[in-house]
Amino acid sequence: MRKILIITVLLLLGAVAVWLFLNLPKPAPKEQITVRETQRLIAHIPHYAAAALGYFHDQGLDVTLTTSATGYIEDPGQADIIITQVERIFGTQVKAFVALTRHEPCLLLAREKNKDFQWDQVKNKTIIAGPPDSTAQVALEEILKKNHLIPQMHVIIVQNLPLHLRRGAFLSGSGSFIILPDPAAARMENNGQGWIMASLAEAGEIPARVCAATPAFLSEHPDTAVAYARAIYQAQRWLKKHEAGEIAALVGPFFPDMGVKSLTRAIQRAKDTGLWTDTPVIEPAQYERLQQIFVAAGELPQKIPYEKFAAAQYAQDALNNIPLPTP
């Protein structure tokens, strides 16, 4: 009798399990997308935070992040979305649809410590910087001009070194200053190889780092673009409300070669300069400022209309159309 009772109970439990499997709603499959970045940067933390906090997952996205080995994106078609410097998409069909930073994230490092640094101290010195058409270079030139210094006359700027050779050139004795973003700048300072003097944020607000995609991807996957923008927006709100130490603890796995203290200092530096945007919308005023300094530097023959550069409706929809949970 007892065996019959046990068998009956097991059969009932099995029947219930089958019914639940067949009738309970199943989680919707995640849409898989690939995001490619130029290099691992403090500037890209809104993406890392969105991944670590599960915001992409909440929006129905399964996001794979890859990093270009050379620091350049030769073919945007190798990924659905790219995180990149704005100059990389000038003159292409790729459209920026999410803003990550409100100014150029690079920093000026000197060979020696100087607590009383002023920009006039770079006069008659050499700065190792990026290529002429990079946001870092045009931002540097804008700051030099503000300080009455004429590039390549009062200050020699080395512009022809590939990204992976600049640090080595500086360490071998070339130049008195070098332009680098965090975390590379933080590593240099930790090793006593260079000292952070100033931020290129002084050039003004520009959308220096953006997320972009091809028009084909955006038109074929509009909901995906909005979902991605919404996840970034949630991360941006979270970053704004949390301290540097908390952010470092969250995104630490994305910077495995950095200690917690060094990462925290770099993040605090980003917060102090207001590096990350409050929303994913690329502000027209910031884009206009970007155009002005590129034209002034002679790197754009004429301005590119906002509509040809940005696809703003996806980030705007992420803000306006669907309520967001409180972080």
115 falls within a domain: yes
Last residue of a domain, one of 188, 203, 218: 203
**SS3 state at 216:** helix
Spatial distance between the Cα atoms of 297 and 50, rounded to a whole number of angstroms: 35
Would you state the pLDDT for residue 322?
56
21 falls within a domain: no
Q: 193: burial class by Cβ within 10 Å (0-12, 13-18, 19+)?
A: middle
**How does DSSP assign 56-123, residue by residue?**
HHHTTEEEEEEE-TTS--S-GGGSSEEEEEGGGGTTSS-EEEEE-BSS---EEEESS--TT--GGGGT
Residues 35, 179: one domain?
no
Domain that holds residue 233: 31-103+206-320
pTM exceeds 0.75 for this model: yes
Q: Which two tokens stand for residue 281?
A: 């919308």
Last residue of a domain, one of 186, 203, 220: 203
Q: Which two tokens stand for residue 49?
A: 């935070």
Strand partners, 36: 66, 82
Work out the percent of the chain whose per-residue pLDDT is above 70. 86
What is the average per-residue pLDDT within 146-162? 92
Q: Is the pLDDT of residue 161 over 70?
A: yes
Amino acid at 241: K
Q: Is the pLDDT of residue 11 over 80?
A: no
Number of separate domains in the chain: 2
Last residue of a domain, one of 152, 180, 203: 203
88 falls within a domain: yes
Residues 177, 210: one domain?
no
Phi/psi region, residue 51 (left: phi>0; alpha: psi -120 to 50; beta: rest), is alpha
